[in-house]
Amino acid sequence: MKRINLIAGLLLLAGSASFAQKTETQLQNMGQLIDEQFNFAAAQYKVLDKNIPAGLTPQSYDAKKNKLIAYDIKWWCSGFYSGSLWYIYEQTRDAEVKKTAEKALKVIEPNQDYSGNHDLGFMMFCSFGNGYRLTKDPAYKAVIERSAASLAKRYRPSIESIQSWDKSKYWKCPVIIDNMMNLEMLNWVSDNGGDAHYKEIAVKHANTTLKNHFRPDFSSYHVVDYDLATGKVNRKATWQGAASSSAWARGQAWALYGYTMMYRDTKNQKYLKQAKGIAHFILNHPNLPADKIPFWDFDAPKIPYAERDASAGAITASALLELAQYTAAAKEKAEFISSAETMIRSLASPAYRAKSGENGGFLLLHSTGALPLNSEIDVPLVYADYYFLEALGRYKKWYL
């Protein structure tokens, strides 16, 4: 039935009777493509595993130096490696991959008591959340619950938000759009027998972000800096984008994913409206390339020669696939799915995907971490792999 509905929607989008037969073939090809990507990922991550120093988590790869970049477990990306392994295991049932995933969880387990930043959702839910989903190990659930308690410590009642970074010479109380992604863990714990206050925090944070982070065209600022004493906004700016007024590509992806997730967890229609608005901003932007993998900022200098961000493409694809699940209008639903499929096909092509055994074991090329800081430019990034795998799995689950 879901295949029939998808074809019907695509038929409406295309306006051609011959399109139905074409899309049936495309769906069959997508199934083959997805299986190939997971088999490639299983082999590739075995290469990656051999290069990781004990006690660290992989982040990127320096091709010039042929060197794996790995960081301490308190780095915000520490959960993506194990999360990717769980996604690979889910599709391949490779026992070696599962063993590696379990080993990777042990490395980051101490983070459950860490409250030094807002990224515990990335760190502990992408990892232990997927582990628990697939194994139902009660020890994993206990870690998630402890992690939610640690994250909740960063909630600031005066601004009704979770503070992202600590006070510095640049910021008094910064909240970044990325923080929307960490709300999922709070929701999940409250919805699965934990403290109901965690979800209340998530909802308040989402509402505050909705009020202060967005422009009329649904694009998002990266950073909103608050005055803790008064709760008022000091300024709206950027840290990783091209300018305070620009639309940093990964930030737009975080926003799209975050409000789609918040609608799933609350069924609040204002979150669905926001997610759709963000989706249309991205998909209708004149600077979105034909392959739908964004430049690192939609307003970046030197477009069309600016760097791409495969991670933004992967996150957006995954979010669009879920947003389509909550979209009733056939044409709009088909637009979200077909756009996500284009992104997936682009990322799976030689233009973005590594060759077997290369790229330090990472899957994707051409991500951009923080170009204004001259950091992680045109490199593989562990979270690009994670959301690429998630998008592949979601497409297979929902649309094949």
CA atoms of 186 and 200, how far apart (whole Å): 9
Longest dimension (CA), the chain: 63
Q: Is 49 flagged in the annotation as binding?
A: no
Q: Is 119 flagged in the annotation as binding?
A: yes
Q: Is 254 flagged in the annotation as binding?
A: yes
Answer yes or no: 291 catalytic. Answer: no
Q: What pairs with residue 137 in β-bridges?
A: none
Q: Is 178 flagged in the annotation as binding?
A: yes
CA atoms of 384 and 311, how far apart (whole Å): 4
Q: Is 227 flagged in the annotation as binding?
A: no
- Closest residue by Cα to residue 250 from 208, 210, 307: 307
CA atoms of 104 and 56, how far apart (whole Å): 9
Beta strands in 22-181 (DSSP E): 57-62, 67-71, 155-156, 161-162, 174-176
Cβ atoms within 10 A of the Cβ of 209, count? Answer: 27
Contact criterion met (CB below 8 Å) for 170 and 183: no
Q: What is the DSSP letter of 241?
A: S
Catalytic residue among 178, 297, 299, 309: 178
Answer yes or no: 178 catalytic. Answer: yes
Catalytic residue among 49, 94, 119, 225: 119
Beta-carbon contacts of residue 325 (< 8 Å; ≥ 6 apart):
398
Beta strands in the chain (DSSP E): 57-62, 67-71, 155-156, 161-162, 174-176, 223-226, 233-237, 367-370, 375-379
Beta-carbon contacts of residue 338 (< 8 Å; ≥ 6 apart):
10, 13
Beta-carbon contacts of residue 263 (< 8 Å; ≥ 6 apart):
269, 271, 272, 275, 326
CA atoms of 362 and 62, how far apart (whole Å): 11
CA atoms of 258 and 271, how far apart (whole Å): 9
Residue in this structure with the two tokens 């992690």, named with its chain if needed: 147
Supply the residues annotated as catalytic: 119, 178
Write out the binding residues for substrate.
119, 178, 238, 250, 254
